[in-house]
Copies of this chain bind each other. A is one copy, B any other.
Amino acid sequence: MGHLLDKVRENEPLIHNITNKVVTNFTANGLYAVGAAPVMANAIEEVEEMASIAGAVILNIGTLTTEQVEAMVLAGKSANKNGTPVVLDPVGAGATSMRTKAAHRIIEEVELSLIRGNSGEIAALSGVETEVKGVDGISELAKEELAKQAFNQWKVPIVITGPEDVVWDGKEGISIFNGHPLLTKVTGAGCLLSSVIGAFLAVEKNVLQAAESALSFYGVAAERAAKKTSLPGSFQIEFLNSLYDTTSEIVEENKRVSPFTEAVKSNG
């Protein structure tokens, strides 16, 4: 499925990000590196218009304000009218009630293509009791189960990322084992990933395929960057380089993915 990467690079989809103020620059540079065209627009007055010309819309609640929640709902509804994919990244859901409420409101009012979060965020949002210990202290099995329960609640495909990533679209699931711990030392690595998945959704409506391609590409790119350096400052730069020069062939050779199904037993 590495060819989706080539499709992103051919089509250069415009990705409209309403995102937090920590990661705007890194997200834009990361999307350029991948081959997409980033745009940021946050004002209530212009988000509908911007979303209407975008190939995908990313809603990231990392540094939320009341006004920005309104803008996100407007942008999301505008995208919905055009059948444009919308990704929600519920950064910090569970940390404050404002974030949890905002995420719930967006889930209710916008037809989402996909929600991407870490275990803690998805657990907090869905109210599912998990064995979460620290944000990423959750077994693969529990992660699959959490994704399924969250899907059942909202009928929205779920991506849970961490040392290993899982995608669940309601019928089929895939685990992706690529990636590198240095990603956790670069702020916005998760946020950029949500935007990159958006870029893949812009060229492929099948969520499972788009997410698998995006996640394996992202993980392989991180692994290649980590071969150049073990330090976080340099890793940030090498990762941008790697997002730029990792080809679909390299992804296909190095991806480690494994499907899973309904049969997985709850661990919760």
- With known contacts A98-B45, A233-B241, A234-B241, A25–B28 Cβ distance under 8 A: no
CB-CB under 8 A from A99, the residues of chain B are 46
- With known contacts A53-B95, A95-B50, A233-B240, A187–B43 Cβ distance under 8 A: no
Instruction: For chain A, give the interface size range.
Output: 35 or more
CB-CB under 8 A from A239, the residues of chain B are 233
From residue A26, how far is it (CB to closest CB) to chain B in Å? 6
Q: Could you tell me which residues of chain A, from 57 to 76, have a CB within 8 Å of some CB in chain B? A: 62-66
CB-CB under 8 A from A263, the residues of chain B are none
Does A80 reach chain B (CB closer than 8 Å)? Answer: no
Binds B, one of A15-23, A144-152, A165-173, A207-215: A15-23
Q: Which residue of B lies closest to A52 (CB)?
A: B96
Does A163 reach chain B (CB closer than 8 Å)? Answer: no
CA A187 to CA B245, docked complex, whole Å: 18
CA A231 to CA B234, docked complex, whole Å: 13
CB-CB under 8 A from A38, the residues of chain B are 187
CA A231 to CA B98, docked complex, whole Å: 40
Does A249 reach chain B (CB closer than 8 Å)? Answer: no
CB-CB under 8 A from A241, the residues of chain B are 231-234
B186 and A29: CB pair below 8 A? Answer: yes
CB-CB under 8 A from A43, the residues of chain B are 63-66, 98
CA A186 to CA B26, docked complex, whole Å: 10
From residue A23, how far is it (CB to closest CB) to chain B in Å? 7
CB-CB under 8 A from A232, the residues of chain B are 29, 32-33, 240-241, 244
From residue A239, how far is it (CB to closest CB) to chain B in Å? 7
B96 and A29: CB pair below 8 A? Answer: no
CA A33 to CA B64, docked complex, whole Å: 25
CA A244 to CA B240, docked complex, whole Å: 20
Does A1 reach chain B (CB closer than 8 Å)? Answer: no
From residue A110, how far is it (CB to closest CB) to chain B in Å? 20
B49 and A98: CB pair below 8 A? Answer: yes
From residue A203, how far is it (CB to closest CB) to chain B in Å? 18
Does A238 reach chain B (CB closer than 8 Å)? Answer: yes
For this complex, 11 residue pairs linking A to B, each with C-beta atoms less than 8 Å apart, are A21-B40, A24-B63, A28-B188, A29-B186, A29-B233, A32-B184, A43-B63, A45-B66, A45-B96, A49-B98, A234-B237
